[in-house]
Structure 1
Amino acid sequence: MTRLVVAKFGGSAIGPNGSFIPKIIQRVNELKKDSKVITVFSAPLTIHNGKKRSLTDIILEQGDNAKNGIKPTLEVVKSAYQKILEIVNSENRENCENEIKNHLEKAQKALDDAFESKEFADEVRSRALAFSGEILMSHVMNHILRSNGIKSDAVNFEDWPIITDNNIEFTNFLTAESRERMDKTAELVEKNEVVTIGGFIGKTVDNITTTYERGGSDRTAADLGILFHKKYQTSVDFEKDSSVVSADPKIVESELREVNQLSYNEARLAGMFGMKILDPIAIKEIVENGVDMPITITNMKNPGKITTIKRELEKQKGHPIKIVTGKENCAIFRIETNSVQKLLTSLEKDKRYSEFVILSPFTKDGIEFSRILFLDGEYVKRNEKYLLGFDPLATITYNRGVITLIGDEMWRVQQVASRTSAKIGESGLNILNMDAQEETSRIIIVVEDADDNIRKAIKAIHQEISDINFI
Structure 2
Amino acid sequence: MNKLVVAKFGGSAIGIDGMSIPLILDRINDLKKDSKIIAVFSAPLTMQNEKKCSLTDVILEQGKNVEHGNKADLQVIKSCYQKILKFVNSENMKDCQNTIDEFLKKAEKALDEGLQKKEFAEEIRSRSLAFSGEILMSHVMNYILRSNGIKSDAVSYDDWPIITDHNIESTNFLASKSRENLEKTAKLVEDNQVVTMGGFIGKTPDGITTTYERGGSDRTAADLGILFHKKYETRIDFEKDSSVVSADPKIVDEGLAEVDQLSYNEARLAGMFGMKILDPIAIKEIVENGVDMPIIVTNMKDPSKTTTIKRIPDSKNDHPIKIVTGKDNCAIFKIETNSAQKLLISLEKDKRYSEYVILSPFTKDGVEFSRILFLDGDYVKRNEKYFLGFDSLASITYNRGVITLIGDEMWRVQQVASRTSAKIGEAGLNILNMDAQEETSRIIIVIEDSKDSIRKAINAVHKEKSEINFI
- Coarse TM-score class (shorter-chain normalised): over 0.9
Amino acid across the alignment from 2:448: E
Q: Distance in 2 between matches of 1:217 and 1:313?
A: 25
Q: In the aligned structure 1, how far is the partner of 2:329 from the partner of 2:93?
A: 46
Equivalent in the alignment of 2:379: 379
User: Take 2:269 and 2:412, find their aligned partners in 1: how far apart are those partners?
Assistant: 19
Q: Does residue 396 of the first structure (1) align with residue 420 of the second (2)?
A: no
The aligned counterpart of 1:441 is: 441
What pairs up with 1:57-456 in 2 under 5 angstroms?
Answer: 57-456=57-456
Long gaps (5+) in structure 2: none
- 2:467 aligns to what? 467
SS of 1:101's equivalent?
helix
- 2-side partners of 1:249 and 1:353: how far apart? 29
SS of aligned partner of 1:445: strand
| Structure 1 residue 318: Cα displacement | 1.0
Query: Displacement of 1:239 after TM fit?
Result: 0.1
Residue 49 of structure 2 corresponds to residue 46 of structure 1: no
Deviation at 1:51, TM superposition (A): 1.3
Question: In 1, distance between residues paired with 2:254 and 2:361?
Answer: 38
Equivalent residue for 1:30? Answer: 30
- Distance in 2, matches of 1:346 and 1:76, equals 41
Residue type of the alignment partner of 2:311: R
- Deviation per residue, 1:335-382 (Å, 9 max, x gap): 001111111000001100000000000000000000000000000001
Cα distance per residue 1:309-357 (max 9 Å; x no partner)? 0001111211100000000000000000111111100000110000000
CA distance in 2, matches of 1:85, 1:195: 19
Q: Residues 439-470 of structure 1: CA distance to partner in whole angstroms, max 9, x if unpaired?
A: 00000000000010000000000000100000
Separation of aligned partners in 1, 2:179 and 2:19? 35
RMSD between aligned residues: 0.4
Post-superposition offset of 1:155: 0.2
**What is the CA–CA distance in structure 2 between the aligned matches of 1:104 and 1:317, rounded to whole Å?**
53
- Classify the secondary structure of the residue corresponding to 1:73: coil
Q: How many residues align?
A: 471
The amino acid that maps onto 2:374 is F
SS of residue matched to 2:77: helix
Report SS of the residue matched to 1:243. coil
Residues in 2 aligned to 1:419 and 1:96: alpha-carbon distance in whole angstroms: 58
Distance 1:281 1:450 in 2: 28
Residues in 2 aligned to 1:178 and 1:352: alpha-carbon distance in whole angstroms: 18
**Alpha-carbon distance in structure 2 between the residues aligned to 1:337 and 1:388:** 14
CA distance in 1, matches of 2:336, 2:152: 56
Q: What letter is aligned with 2:32?
A: K
Question: Secondary structure of the residue that 2:368 maps to in structure 1?
Answer: strand
Per-residue displacement from partner, 1:168-200 (whole Å, max 9, x unpaired)? Answer: 000000000000001000000000000000000
Residue 2 in 1 paired to residue 2 in 2?
A: yes
List, as ranges, runs of 4+ consecutive aligned residues in structure 1 with deviation greater than 4 Å. Answer: none
**Which TM-score applies when normalising by structure 1?**
1.00
In the alignment, the residues of structure 2 paired with residue 325 and residue 130 of structure 1 have an alpha-carbon distance, to the nearest angstrom, of 32
What secondary structure sits across from 2:60 in the alignment?
Answer: helix
Opposite residue 39 of structure 1, the aligned amino acid is A
For 2:132, the aligned partner's letter is S
SS in 2 for 1:371: strand
Which blocks of at least 5 consecutive residues in structure 1 are unaligned? none
- State how far apart, in whole Å, the 2-side matches of 1:365 and 1:75 are: 62
Question: Quick one: distance in 2 between partners of 1:328 and 1:47?
Answer: 27
For 2:254, what is the secondary structure of its paired residue?
coil
Shift of 1:263: 0.1
Q: Matched residues in 1 for 2:83 and 2:179: separation?
A: 37
Letter in 2 for 1:280: P
In 2, Cα distance between equivalents of 1:314 and 1:25: 31
Distance 2:319 2:24 in 1: 33
Once the two structures are TM-superposed, the CA of residue 411 in structure 1 deviates from its matched residue by 0.2
- For 1:432, what is the secondary structure of its paired residue? strand
The amino acid across from 1:460 in the alignment is A
Matched residues in 1 for 2:348 and 2:428: separation?
38
Shift, 1:58, TM fit: 0.3
Q: Deviation of residue 428 (structure 1)?
A: 0.4
Deviations 1:113-145 (A, max 9, x none): 111110000000000000000000000000000
TM-score (ref. length: structure 2): 1.00
**What is the rounded CA distance, in whole Å, between the counterparts of 1:176 and 1:103 in structure 2?**
29
1:85-139 deviation line (CA, Å, top 9, x unaligned): 0110000000100110000000000111111110000000000000000000000
User: Which residue in 1 is equivalent to 2:12?
Assistant: 12
Which one-letter code corresponds to 1:331 in the other structure?
A: A
Letter in 1 for 2:444: I
> What is the deviation of 1:70?
1.3
